[in-house]
Amino acid sequence: MTETWTVLSLLNWAAPYLEKNGSSSPRLDAELLLAKVLDCQRLDLYLRFDKPLASSELASFKKLILERRQGVPVAYLLGEKEFWSLSFQVSPAVLVPRPETEHLVEASINFLEEKFPTGCGVLDLGTGCGNIILALAHQFSDRTGFSWLGIDSRPAALEVAALNARQLKLEEVSWLASDLFASLAPENSLFGLVVANPPYITSAEMAGLPPEVQREPAAALDGGLDGLDFYRRIANDARNFLRPGGGLIFEVGDGQAADVKKILASNGYSAISGLFDLARCERVVMGVN
Ligand code: GLN
Protein backbone atom coordinates (compact mmCIF):
# COMPACT_ATOMS: atom_id res chain seq x y z
CA MET A 1 0.00 0.00 0.00
CA THR A 2 2.48 2.72 -1.08
CA GLU A 3 0.40 4.77 -3.57
CA THR A 4 -2.25 7.25 -2.41
CA TRP A 5 -5.29 5.31 -1.35
CA THR A 6 -8.73 6.85 -1.30
CA VAL A 7 -11.83 5.55 0.44
CA LEU A 8 -13.12 4.14 -2.85
CA SER A 9 -9.88 2.55 -4.05
CA LEU A 10 -9.36 0.98 -0.65
CA LEU A 11 -12.88 -0.52 -0.59
CA ASN A 12 -12.38 -1.78 -4.13
CA TRP A 13 -9.22 -3.53 -2.99
CA ALA A 14 -10.48 -4.86 0.33
CA ALA A 15 -13.85 -6.31 -0.76
CA PRO A 16 -12.53 -8.81 -3.37
CA TYR A 17 -9.67 -9.63 -1.00
CA LEU A 18 -12.10 -10.62 1.77
CA GLU A 19 -14.33 -12.43 -0.71
CA LYS A 20 -11.42 -14.60 -1.83
CA ASN A 21 -10.82 -15.42 1.80
CA GLY A 22 -14.31 -16.67 2.45
CA SER A 23 -16.36 -13.74 3.76
CA SER A 24 -20.01 -13.96 2.71
CA SER A 25 -20.48 -10.17 2.94
CA PRO A 26 -17.09 -8.77 1.84
CA ARG A 27 -18.13 -5.28 0.72
CA LEU A 28 -20.22 -4.69 3.84
CA ASP A 29 -17.41 -5.98 6.06
CA ALA A 30 -14.91 -3.67 4.37
CA GLU A 31 -17.22 -0.66 4.67
CA LEU A 32 -17.97 -1.28 8.34
CA LEU A 33 -14.29 -1.68 9.18
CA LEU A 34 -13.25 1.41 7.22
CA ALA A 35 -16.02 3.46 8.86
CA LYS A 36 -14.65 2.35 12.24
CA VAL A 37 -11.13 3.49 11.31
CA LEU A 38 -12.42 6.84 10.03
CA ASP A 39 -14.82 7.17 12.98
CA CYS A 40 -17.83 7.81 10.78
CA GLN A 41 -21.08 6.10 9.79
CA ARG A 42 -20.88 3.53 7.01
CA LEU A 43 -23.04 5.60 4.69
CA ASP A 44 -20.80 8.65 5.21
CA LEU A 45 -18.14 6.75 3.25
CA TYR A 46 -20.21 7.31 0.13
CA LEU A 47 -19.81 11.07 0.53
CA ARG A 48 -16.06 10.71 0.92
CA PHE A 49 -15.08 8.31 -1.86
CA ASP A 50 -12.24 10.56 -3.04
CA LYS A 51 -10.83 11.27 0.40
CA PRO A 52 -7.16 10.22 0.64
CA LEU A 53 -6.24 8.19 3.71
CA ALA A 54 -3.44 9.05 6.14
CA SER A 55 -0.81 6.36 6.62
CA SER A 56 -1.97 5.74 10.21
CA GLU A 57 -5.52 5.16 8.94
CA LEU A 58 -4.22 2.78 6.29
CA ALA A 59 -2.25 0.85 8.88
CA SER A 60 -5.27 0.52 11.19
CA PHE A 61 -7.49 -0.62 8.34
CA LYS A 62 -4.95 -3.16 7.10
CA LYS A 63 -4.69 -4.65 10.57
CA LEU A 64 -8.48 -5.06 10.79
CA ILE A 65 -8.69 -6.57 7.30
CA LEU A 66 -5.99 -9.12 8.16
CA GLU A 67 -7.85 -10.13 11.32
CA ARG A 68 -11.10 -10.37 9.40
CA ARG A 69 -9.34 -12.55 6.82
CA GLN A 70 -8.36 -14.90 9.62
CA GLY A 71 -12.03 -15.35 10.47
CA VAL A 72 -12.53 -12.91 13.36
CA PRO A 73 -16.22 -11.87 13.27
CA VAL A 74 -16.80 -8.28 12.19
CA ALA A 75 -18.74 -7.63 15.41
CA TYR A 76 -15.66 -8.47 17.52
CA LEU A 77 -13.50 -6.15 15.39
CA LEU A 78 -16.04 -3.34 15.73
CA GLY A 79 -16.67 -4.16 19.40
CA GLU A 80 -20.39 -3.79 18.93
CA LYS A 81 -23.46 -5.29 17.31
CA GLU A 82 -26.94 -3.90 16.76
CA PHE A 83 -29.84 -5.93 18.16
CA TRP A 84 -33.45 -4.81 18.57
CA SER A 85 -32.28 -1.40 17.27
CA LEU A 86 -29.99 -1.03 20.28
CA SER A 87 -26.20 -1.04 20.23
CA PHE A 88 -24.56 -3.83 22.27
CA GLN A 89 -20.90 -4.10 23.19
CA VAL A 90 -19.52 -7.52 22.31
CA SER A 91 -16.20 -9.27 22.89
CA PRO A 92 -14.93 -12.81 22.29
CA ALA A 93 -16.36 -13.63 25.75
CA VAL A 94 -19.89 -13.55 24.34
CA LEU A 95 -21.91 -14.87 21.43
CA VAL A 96 -22.61 -12.24 18.77
CA PRO A 97 -26.38 -11.52 18.87
CA ARG A 98 -28.16 -12.86 15.79
CA PRO A 99 -31.09 -11.19 14.02
CA GLU A 100 -33.26 -14.31 14.35
CA THR A 101 -33.10 -13.96 18.13
CA GLU A 102 -35.27 -10.86 17.73
CA HIS A 103 -38.17 -13.28 17.19
CA LEU A 104 -37.60 -14.53 20.74
CA VAL A 105 -37.78 -10.96 22.03
CA GLU A 106 -40.96 -10.32 20.05
CA ALA A 107 -42.61 -13.50 21.34
CA SER A 108 -41.62 -12.55 24.90
CA ILE A 109 -43.06 -9.05 24.58
CA ASN A 110 -46.35 -10.44 23.24
CA PHE A 111 -46.52 -12.97 26.07
CA LEU A 112 -45.85 -10.34 28.76
CA GLU A 113 -48.33 -7.88 27.24
CA GLU A 114 -50.99 -10.55 27.24
CA LYS A 115 -50.37 -12.33 30.57
CA PHE A 116 -48.50 -9.93 32.85
CA PRO A 117 -49.02 -6.39 31.52
CA THR A 118 -48.52 -4.78 34.90
CA GLY A 119 -45.33 -6.69 35.62
CA CYS A 120 -43.65 -9.87 36.84
CA GLY A 121 -40.16 -11.30 37.27
CA VAL A 122 -38.39 -12.10 33.98
CA LEU A 123 -35.33 -14.36 33.77
CA ASP A 124 -32.96 -14.77 30.81
CA LEU A 125 -30.81 -17.92 31.02
CA GLY A 126 -27.44 -17.83 29.24
CA THR A 127 -27.68 -14.09 28.82
CA GLY A 128 -24.31 -13.57 27.08
CA CYS A 129 -23.97 -9.84 26.33
CA GLY A 130 -27.44 -9.37 27.84
CA ASN A 131 -29.13 -8.60 24.53
CA ILE A 132 -32.42 -10.42 25.22
CA ILE A 133 -33.11 -9.24 28.79
CA LEU A 134 -31.90 -5.71 28.03
CA ALA A 135 -34.10 -5.49 24.91
CA LEU A 136 -37.07 -6.56 27.07
CA ALA A 137 -36.21 -4.17 29.91
CA HIS A 138 -35.86 -1.38 27.36
CA GLN A 139 -39.25 -2.20 25.87
CA PHE A 140 -40.98 -2.08 29.28
CA SER A 141 -38.88 0.69 30.82
CA ASP A 142 -41.95 2.86 31.45
CA ARG A 143 -43.53 0.17 33.69
CA THR A 144 -42.41 -0.31 37.25
CA GLY A 145 -43.85 -3.76 38.05
CA PHE A 146 -41.16 -5.79 36.31
CA SER A 147 -37.92 -7.19 37.64
CA TRP A 148 -35.22 -8.38 35.26
CA LEU A 149 -32.50 -10.98 35.85
CA GLY A 150 -29.84 -12.26 33.47
CA ILE A 151 -27.97 -15.45 34.36
CA ASP A 152 -24.82 -16.78 32.74
CA SER A 153 -22.37 -19.41 33.92
CA ARG A 154 -19.42 -17.29 32.76
CA PRO A 155 -18.52 -14.16 34.77
CA ALA A 156 -16.64 -12.77 31.73
CA ALA A 157 -19.94 -12.69 29.82
CA LEU A 158 -21.72 -10.99 32.73
CA GLU A 159 -19.10 -8.23 32.73
CA VAL A 160 -20.05 -7.45 29.13
CA ALA A 161 -23.76 -7.63 30.00
CA ALA A 162 -23.35 -5.24 32.95
CA LEU A 163 -21.42 -2.83 30.73
CA ASN A 164 -24.30 -2.89 28.25
CA ALA A 165 -26.80 -2.25 31.03
CA ARG A 166 -24.83 0.86 32.05
CA GLN A 167 -24.54 2.15 28.50
CA LEU A 168 -28.24 1.61 27.82
CA LYS A 169 -29.16 3.15 31.19
CA LEU A 170 -30.97 -0.03 32.20
CA GLU A 171 -29.27 -0.56 35.53
CA GLU A 172 -32.44 -2.00 37.04
CA VAL A 173 -31.44 -5.31 35.41
CA SER A 174 -29.66 -7.72 37.81
CA TRP A 175 -27.01 -10.29 36.91
CA LEU A 176 -26.11 -13.60 38.52
CA ALA A 177 -23.30 -16.04 37.75
CA SER A 178 -24.92 -19.46 37.95
CA ASP A 179 -25.08 -22.78 36.14
CA LEU A 180 -28.69 -22.30 34.98
CA PHE A 181 -30.88 -22.28 38.14
CA ALA A 182 -28.25 -23.80 40.45
CA SER A 183 -27.60 -20.63 42.48
CA LEU A 184 -31.22 -19.41 42.62
CA ALA A 185 -33.42 -20.12 45.63
CA PRO A 186 -36.90 -21.16 44.41
CA GLU A 187 -38.84 -19.66 47.32
CA ASN A 188 -37.85 -16.07 46.54
CA SER A 189 -37.67 -16.31 42.78
CA LEU A 190 -40.92 -17.08 40.99
CA PHE A 191 -40.89 -15.75 37.45
CA GLY A 192 -43.69 -14.89 35.05
CA LEU A 193 -41.36 -15.56 32.15
CA VAL A 194 -38.18 -17.57 31.67
CA VAL A 195 -36.55 -17.00 28.31
CA ALA A 196 -33.47 -18.68 26.84
CA ASN A 197 -31.45 -18.95 23.66
CA PRO A 198 -29.40 -21.89 24.93
CA PRO A 199 -26.45 -23.57 23.22
CA TYR A 200 -28.02 -25.91 20.65
CA ILE A 201 -25.29 -27.07 18.25
CA THR A 202 -24.74 -30.84 18.33
CA SER A 203 -21.31 -32.12 19.36
CA ALA A 204 -20.81 -33.53 15.84
CA GLU A 205 -21.62 -30.17 14.22
CA MET A 206 -19.25 -28.27 16.55
CA ALA A 207 -16.13 -29.39 14.64
CA GLY A 208 -17.54 -28.32 11.27
CA LEU A 209 -18.63 -24.79 12.21
CA PRO A 210 -17.49 -21.97 9.89
CA PRO A 211 -14.19 -20.41 11.09
CA GLU A 212 -15.85 -17.24 12.31
CA VAL A 213 -18.36 -19.13 14.46
CA GLN A 214 -15.45 -21.11 15.91
CA ARG A 215 -14.16 -17.78 17.27
CA GLU A 216 -17.25 -17.54 19.47
CA PRO A 217 -17.29 -19.19 22.93
CA ALA A 218 -17.87 -22.94 22.63
CA ALA A 219 -19.79 -22.80 25.92
CA ALA A 220 -22.39 -20.60 24.20
CA LEU A 221 -22.81 -23.01 21.29
CA ASP A 222 -22.34 -26.63 22.37
CA GLY A 223 -25.67 -28.27 23.20
CA GLY A 224 -24.30 -31.78 23.76
CA LEU A 225 -24.65 -34.98 21.76
CA ASP A 226 -28.03 -34.22 20.17
CA GLY A 227 -27.95 -30.44 20.82
CA LEU A 228 -30.89 -30.67 23.24
CA ASP A 229 -29.14 -30.98 26.63
CA PHE A 230 -30.01 -27.46 27.76
CA TYR A 231 -33.65 -27.72 26.69
CA ARG A 232 -34.07 -30.83 28.85
CA ARG A 233 -32.39 -29.29 31.88
CA ILE A 234 -34.15 -25.95 31.61
CA ALA A 235 -37.61 -27.41 30.89
CA ASN A 236 -37.30 -29.66 33.93
CA ASP A 237 -35.89 -27.10 36.38
CA ALA A 238 -38.01 -24.13 35.26
CA ARG A 239 -41.16 -25.77 36.65
CA ASN A 240 -39.85 -24.90 40.14
CA PHE A 241 -39.19 -21.28 39.25
CA LEU A 242 -42.27 -20.30 37.22
CA ARG A 243 -45.49 -18.88 38.61
CA PRO A 244 -48.68 -20.72 37.67
CA GLY A 245 -49.42 -19.46 34.16
CA GLY A 246 -45.82 -18.35 33.69
CA GLY A 247 -44.19 -18.93 30.31
CA LEU A 248 -41.03 -20.66 29.14
CA ILE A 249 -39.89 -19.36 25.75
CA PHE A 250 -36.94 -20.87 23.84
CA GLU A 251 -35.06 -20.12 20.69
CA VAL A 252 -34.37 -23.43 18.92
CA GLY A 253 -32.01 -24.51 16.14
CA ASP A 254 -33.07 -25.48 12.65
CA GLY A 255 -35.17 -28.66 12.82
CA GLN A 256 -35.27 -28.85 16.63
CA ALA A 257 -38.77 -27.44 17.22
CA ALA A 258 -40.62 -30.77 17.24
CA ASP A 259 -38.16 -32.33 19.70
CA VAL A 260 -38.26 -29.30 22.00
CA LYS A 261 -42.07 -29.34 21.98
CA LYS A 262 -41.91 -32.99 23.04
CA ILE A 263 -39.55 -32.08 25.87
CA LEU A 264 -41.99 -29.38 27.04
CA ALA A 265 -44.92 -31.79 26.83
CA SER A 266 -43.15 -34.52 28.78
CA ASN A 267 -42.40 -31.96 31.51
CA GLY A 268 -46.08 -31.07 31.83
CA TYR A 269 -46.19 -27.66 30.12
CA SER A 270 -49.46 -26.61 28.46
CA ALA A 271 -50.33 -24.35 25.48
CA ILE A 272 -47.18 -25.49 23.66
CA SER A 273 -46.65 -23.58 20.43
CA GLY A 274 -44.02 -22.46 17.93
CA LEU A 275 -43.26 -19.41 15.78
CA PHE A 276 -41.50 -19.24 12.43
CA ASP A 277 -38.68 -16.86 11.46
CA LEU A 278 -38.29 -15.02 8.16
CA ALA A 279 -36.49 -18.03 6.67
CA ARG A 280 -39.60 -20.12 7.56
CA CYS A 281 -37.70 -22.05 10.15
CA GLU A 282 -39.66 -22.77 13.35
CA ARG A 283 -37.38 -20.69 15.55
CA VAL A 284 -39.26 -20.07 18.79
CA VAL A 285 -40.97 -22.69 20.97
CA MET A 286 -42.99 -21.89 24.08
CA GLY A 287 -45.07 -23.51 26.79
CA VAL A 288 -46.97 -22.42 29.88
CA ASN A 289 -46.44 -23.69 33.43
N1 GLN B 1 -28.51 -14.61 25.02
C2 GLN B 1 -27.47 -14.41 24.04
C3 GLN B 1 -28.06 -14.37 22.63
O4 GLN B 1 -29.12 -14.84 22.38
C5 GLN B 1 -26.40 -15.46 24.17
C6 GLN B 1 -26.94 -16.85 23.98
C7 GLN B 1 -25.86 -17.90 24.20
O8 GLN B 1 -24.77 -17.59 24.65
N9 GLN B 1 -26.20 -19.12 23.87
O10 GLN B 1 -27.47 -13.83 21.73
Q: Examine residue 79 and state whether it is found in any structural domain, yes or no.
A: no
Task: For residues 66 and 158, state if they share a domain.
Answer: no
Position 189 scores a pLDDT of: 75
Q: Treating both helix axes as pointing N-terminal to C-terminal, what angle do 229-238 and 257-266 enclose, rounded to 10 degrees? A: 30
Task: For residues 209 and 167, state if they share a domain.
Answer: yes
Distance 97 CA to ligand 1 centre (A): 7
Q: Examine residue 23 and state whether it is found in any structural domain, yes or no.
A: yes
Pocket of ligand 1 contains residue 150 by CB under 6 Å: no
Distance 216 CA to ligand 1 centre (A): 11
Q: Examine residue 171 and state whether it is found in any structural domain, yes or no.
A: yes
Nearest CA to ligand 1 atom 10: 97
Position 23 scores a pLDDT of: 85
Task: For residues 63 and 152, state if they share a domain.
Answer: no
For residue range 39-72, list pLDDT tens digits in order. 999 999 999 999 999 999 999 999 999 999 999 9
Task: For residues 186 and 49, state if they share a domain.
Answer: no
Q: Cβ distance 131 to 95 under 8 Å?
A: no
Task: For residues 136 and 229, state if they share a domain.
Answer: yes
Q: Examine residue 82 and state whether it is found in any structural domain, yes or no.
A: no
Q: Cβ distance 96 to 128 under 8 Å?
A: no
CATH number, residue 53? 1.10.8
Give residue 141's pLDDT band: very low, low, confident or very high (50, 70, 90). very high
Task: For residues 106 and 240, state if they share a domain.
Answer: yes
- Residue 61 to residues 21, 35, 57, 70, 112, Cα–Cα distance (Å): 17, 9, 6, 14, 45
Pocket of ligand 1 contains residue 180 by CB under 6 Å: no
Q: Examine residue 39 and state whether it is found in any structural domain, yes or no.
A: yes
Runs of H (alpha helix) within the chain = 7-20, 26-38, 55-69, 74-78, 102-115, 131-139, 155-167, 203-206, 211-214, 229-238, 257-266
* C-alpha–C-alpha distance, residues 140 and 132, integer Å: 13
Task: For residues 49 and 141, state if they share a domain.
Answer: no
Among the residue ranges 134-138, 230-234, 242-246, 276-280, the one predicted with the least confidence is 276-280
Give residue 185's pLDDT band: very low, low, confident or very high (50, 70, 90). confident
pLDDT (average), residues 111-124: 98
Task: For residues 162 and 65, state if they share a domain.
Answer: no
Q: Report CA Rg, the chain.
A: 21
Q: Examine residue 86 and state whether it is found in any structural domain, yes or no.
A: no
Pocket of ligand 1 contains residue 23 by CB under 6 Å: no
What element of type H or E holds 287? Answer: strand 282-288
Position 188 scores a pLDDT of: 64
Give residue 278's pLDDT band: very low, low, confident or very high (50, 70, 90). confident
For residue range 160-182, list pLDDT tens digits in order. 999 999 999 999 999 999 999 99
* C-alpha–C-alpha distance, residues 185 and 93, integer Å: 27
Position 187 scores a pLDDT of: 66
Q: Examine residue 46 and state whether it is found in any structural domain, yes or no.
A: yes
Pocket of ligand 1 contains residue 164 by CB under 6 Å: no
Distance 8 CA to ligand 1 centre (A): 36
Task: For residues 272 and 217, state if they share a domain.
Answer: yes
* Residue among 91, 95, 216 whose CB has most ligand 1 atoms within 8 A, to mutate: 95
**pTM (predicted TM-score):** 0.93
Task: For residues 191 and 221, state if they share a domain.
Answer: yes
Pocket of ligand 1 contains residue 134 by CB under 6 Å: no
Residue 140: is its pLDDT beyond 60?
A: yes
C-beta atoms surrounding 90 within 10 Å? 24
CATH number, residue 147? 3.40.50.150
Query: Side by side, which strands form the sheet with 191-196?
Result: 173-177, 147-152, 121-125, 191-196, 242-251, 282-288, 270-276
Nearest CA to ligand 1 atom 4: 197
Number of domains in the chain: 2
The four Cα atoms 5, 11, 13, 18 give a dihedral, to 10 degrees, of 140
Distance 124 CA to ligand 1 centre (A): 9
Position 3 scores a pLDDT of: 74
Task: For residues 239 and 140, state if they share a domain.
Answer: yes
Task: For residues 28 and 144, state if they share a domain.
Answer: no
Query: Residue 11 CA to chain centroid, in angstroms?
Result: 28
Pocket of ligand 1 contains residue 197 by CB under 6 Å: yes
pLDDT (average), residues 267-277: 97
Q: Examine residue 76 and state whether it is found in any structural domain, yes or no.
A: no
Range of the domain at 28: 7-70
